[in-house]
Chain A
């Protein structure tokens, strides 16, 4: 029963990722990639990582994709001019992505995994266990990431400031 949920979520993720790439309208791309993110969150639930699933939905579907949608609508890109990609470029992209896929599939197919932990700990992905690891073992990276956010915020504000002296290129 639970393996059917896995297959359903996997096919949803792969097909909506493909639809993201192939759809002409960027707004449709954003909506399809939100479907992908929700199915990945479903995978996190299946793997018993509830905290990550919640954070994934909040951060990706709630913040990042809203930012994308906001920029697309602000720049009015939803009636996009046609991309002038030549056909040989498209063919080359298909071929090179296929070659990468081939390399990865053969590498993964030959990989021999070490034995796992056996019966997994069910409380591992819960907020309490994750919070203890985060605040005990990874306290310094956690604090450094706040500095990263601060610098990203300063950079974003500085970059999107209007500069009236610059002539249009």
Chain B
């Protein structure tokens, strides 16, 4: 399974970014190879409007099976992700990315309805 994490840094020790649309980085983790790729998301952070849909679009392009974040998406990002048919898990805002991965694998994160 491939999972996208919203993060403040570029490795699994970094803290999660609780924000979806304006998350600083997106980390794509592949459970099969246990490796990850980092994507800079600062363009969305600088957007005056529409940061949520813009990030949702980027996530869509990564074709993950799930997204793990903190607060959850806004209305417009949610509408985009719903059409993209990607599951979102929230409540990992205060964890490191590695901890969030563990919590996700143990089924401890809440899946939200988009």
A joins B in a complex: no
A residues touching B (Cβ–Cβ < 8 Å)? none
Q: Which residues of B contact A (CB under 8 A)?
A: none
